[in-house]
Amino acid sequence: MAKYSLYPRRPTSIAPDPLARLGAGALGGASAARRFLFTLIAGVAAPFAPGKAAGVVCRRIAVRQIFFTGFQALPLVSVIAIFVGATLVLQIQLMTARLPAELVGQIVVAVVLRELAPVTTAIIVAGRSGTAIATELGNMRANSEILGLASLAIDPMRFVVAPRLLGTVVSVLVLTVYFGAIAILSGYGFSVLLGGSSLTALRSGVGDALLPADLPLFLVKGLGLGTLVGWVCCHFGLEVGASLTEVPRKASQAVMMCLLVCVVYNAIVTAGFYWLVGPIH
Amino acid sequence: MESGISLVDVSFGYGKSVVLRRASLGIPRGGTAVVAGRNGAGKSTLLYVCAGLLPVASGSVTIDGHAPDARHPAALMGAGVRRGFVFQEGGLLSNMNALANVALPLYYHADSLQLEPEQVEARARAALERVGLSGNELYELPAHLSFGVRKRLALARAIALEPNFFYFDDPDVGLDPATAALVHEILCGYRDDPAVTMLVATNRDLLIDRLGVPGYTLRDGVITPRSVPQPPPRLPSRLA
């Protein structure tokens, strides 16, 4: 009995040469990298293209994106920040019961403000809005809506990508500040409630740990992570071909890639920060 | 040929599937041409390529002497090329209602079209009325409209921009006879307009006969000219 194939492939008369396959793979990879870079460059450059009316239309879409990605995520970010801050302070106090409260405050700043807040916020935005962006753009590709926009001389990079990119950048930046503030407040609250330390001691620890260099670090992380989330999700959405079944696959790939690049980016920026600033005492 | 639509030795394919093989086609400015071919011959792809919506592997495409860039679709607008494209299916924005679908390109290009914001909606409504759409249908999402209404909506969206380069992909398929006649009438209007260059992909003999313009056939990726359609020969009186 002939073998049944659920996904029959195009018959080829010539067995593929391994070298040719390698070359084709390399060319395909280079083409994918070029498309990936183009999404970012075109998405960033698009708002500066001529057309005042087009700018007005795209700004309205960007505001809606910021509302959806940033404002509507506030309840979720609040709940996660409260529990993260409380858990962190409890763990520190359990492990370092003999340490002064100022040191606890310093650790909270280092861990929450410099590390947890940017990465956790980026992961929340990627999981909540990144999937929505990749799915929406994937559906638009599969339904020829992107082609339809192009036929109307509407640049998809300006109309579709740029507002979403701006939405994720602004949202990650603002939500990171919000997450850090809520997590630290929650940590203080739990710490004081449990009688582990006084509010004054913790506050002075936080104050001592904050450096002027924290502001650029915060901005570099917020802007970079927001850009990565928007860029990766838009790109994967636009990579969908003609089949709707590709949409969930690309959305899933987009979020996985977001998690990966965000964690790696965060580690690189942190390493660079400590290399520049030196050890903090 | 520099003005109008020009395609010279263009090759295009999707992956390993070759759709166009060194295809050439020329339509003078203000002219109209019809492309026929069997289903799956690549008529829609040919229209996309002629409209500059897809980048070609080799050869050259020009619209009014300008080479379109598929990555920068708005660039041609600045050069005075206003394209109208009626898709065979799809192409409408699924999250916008019918009126918004038509008004969006007008808002987007309001400065180059010299439209005030209050004129945009009036022009969108006029375009919709021209294809017989009005009332509650204007506020429905495309998914809630029938195929024929979506087709007319796509036509309204294209004509609202008052294009000087028009591409129709099977414009009357799936329409009832009255609506198809309305679409034919609109097409004949554009055919007679010297400011509009038009390319129509269709297999409908009725439409081809009504347009009565030079035609091409697309087969195995090659474009060959067809003779100008002649009225059918009259039957001998004894058979009539």
Residues A136-151 pLDDT 10s: 999 999 999 999 999 9
- A66 pLDDT more than 80: yes
Interface test with A, best of B14, B108, B164 (most A CBs within 10 A): B108
Residue-wise pLDDT for B38-92, tens only, equals: 888 899 999 999 999 999 889 999 999 999 988 888 888 888 899 999 998 878 9
Provide the pLDDT for residue B144.
94
Residues A178 and A218: beta-carbon distance below 8 Å: no
Which band of pLDDT confidence, cut at 50, 70 and 90, is reported for residue B130?
Answer: very high
Beta-bridge partner residues of B199: B33, B167
Please judge whether A51 and B161 are an interchain contact, meaning their C-beta atoms are less than 8 angstroms apart. Answer: no
Please judge whether B91 and A147 are an interchain contact, meaning their C-beta atoms are less than 8 angstroms apart. Answer: yes
Domain with CATH 3.40.50.300 in chain B: 1-82+165-230
Count contacts between A and B (CB, < 8 Å): 90
Which band of pLDDT confidence, cut at 50, 70 and 90, is reported for residue B240?
Answer: very low
B77, amino acid identity: M
> Mean pLDDT score of chain A, rounded to an integer?
88
Domain-embedded: residue A7: no
Domain-embedded: residue A78: yes
Please judge whether B108 and A145 are an interchain contact, meaning their C-beta atoms are less than 8 angstroms apart. Answer: no
CATH superfamily of B1-82+165-230: P-loop containing nucleotide triphosphate hydrolases (3.40.50.300)
- B170 pLDDT more than 50: yes
Please judge whether A144 and B91 are an interchain contact, meaning their C-beta atoms are less than 8 angstroms apart. Answer: yes
Which whole number is the average pLDDT over B130-144? 92
Domain-embedded: residue A216: yes
- B234 pLDDT more than 70: no
Residue A29 in tokens: 């990879």
Higher pLDDT, residue A252 or A94:
A252
Which whole number is the average pLDDT over B165-190? 91
pTM: 0.87
Q: Which helix (H) or strand (E) holds A136?
A: helix A131-142
Residues making up chain B, counted from first to last: 240
Q: To the nearest whole percent, how much of chain B has pLDDT over 70?
A: 93
Residue-wise pLDDT for A9-60, tens only, equals: 777 666 668 888 888 889 989 999 999 999 999 999 988 988 899 999 999 9
Which whole number is the average pLDDT over A81-107? 79
Higher pLDDT, residue A196 or A259:
A259
- B214 pLDDT more than 60: yes
Domain that holds residue A258: 51-277
Interface test with B, best of A151, A157, A243 (most B CBs within 10 A): A151
B71 touches chain A (CB under 8 A): yes
Provide the pLDDT for residue A202.
67
Please judge whether B109 and A51 are an interchain contact, meaning their C-beta atoms are less than 8 angstroms apart. Answer: yes
Domain-embedded: residue A75: yes
Provide the pLDDT for residue B229.
55
Residue-wise pLDDT for A212-237, tens only, equals: 888 888 899 999 999 999 999 999 99
Alpha-carbon Rg of chain A, whole angstroms? 23
Nearest-by-CA chain B residue for A38: B71
Please judge whether B91 and A150 are an interchain contact, meaning their C-beta atoms are less than 8 angstroms apart. Answer: no
Distances (CA, A) of A172 to A58, A60, A83, A128, B218: 20, 19, 19, 12, 51
Residue-wise pLDDT for A255-274, tens only, equals: 999 999 999 999 999 999 88
What angle, 0 to 180 degrees and rounded to 10, lies between the N-to-C axes of helices A214-238 and A131-142?
Answer: 30
User: How many structural domains is chain A composed of?
Assistant: 1
Domain-embedded: residue A167: yes
> Mean pLDDT score of chain B, rounded to an integer?
88
B199 touches chain A (CB under 8 A): no
